Amino acid sequence: MIDAKKLLAVALMGVISASTVYATSNDALVKEGRKVFVTKKLGNCLACHAVQGDPSIPQTGDIGPKLVNLNTYPKEYLFDKIWDPNKTNKNTLMPPMGRSHKITKHQIDALVAYLQEITKAK
Ligand code: HEC
């Protein structure tokens, strides 16, 4: 028979280890950013990008480059890239998520917080 207590303990361990990954001061923003990154109706970034540092995300997006070391980029560069990538690359395949009002400025700030947090070398 399945031991319910054991199951609960294992489930709790999963929750705790997942949350320690984001145990930073901008915790809430980082969590929100992850949601925007993976949600199809929001950023849907994972459709095109693999990403360093978050193995829970399917690493199958290969239209854009794998997102690495973004903690070393200026925040403004990342914000502008997500707002409208045509600014820095006229021939980009990446859609202008902010300029087209698919996601809000706040959601872009959250994405930047998330991407800079997870791509930190650990
Ligand atoms: C339709 C595919 C597609 C989607 C969806 C997409 N991207 Fe991109 N992205 C690209 C391509 C192609 C590039 C490389 C060309 C360029 O820099 O514009 C890129 C470049 C980038 C870069 C620059 C990486 C570097 O090292 O310079 C960042 C950051 C980025 N994307 C983040 C995102 C985020 C965050 C989302 C979700 C809001 C997203 N992308 C959605 C295709 C996509």
**85 pocket-lining for ligand 1 (C-beta < 6 Å):** yes
Instruction: Please give the mean pLDDT across all residues of the chain.
Output: 89
The pLDDT score that the predictor gives to residue 60 is 96
8 A C-beta contact, residue 65 and residue 49: yes
Q: How far is the CA of 57 from the centre of ligand 1 (A)?
A: 16
Q: Is 101 left (phi over 0), alpha (psi -120 to 50) or beta?
A: left
Predicted confidence (pLDDT) per residue in 98-113, tens digit: 999 999 999 999 999 9
Q: How far is the CA of 76 from the centre of ligand 1 (A)?
A: 15
8 A C-beta contact, residue 108 and residue 82: yes
Q: How far is the CA of 103 from the centre of ligand 1 (A)?
A: 14
Q: Which residues fall within 8 angstroms of residue 39, CB to CB, at 6 or more apart?
A: none
Predicted confidence (pLDDT) per residue in 50-97, tens digit: 999 999 999 999 999 999 999 999 999 999 999 999 999 999 999 999
Q: What residue's CA is closest to ligand 1, atom 11?
A: 64
8 A C-beta contact, residue 43 and residue 111: yes
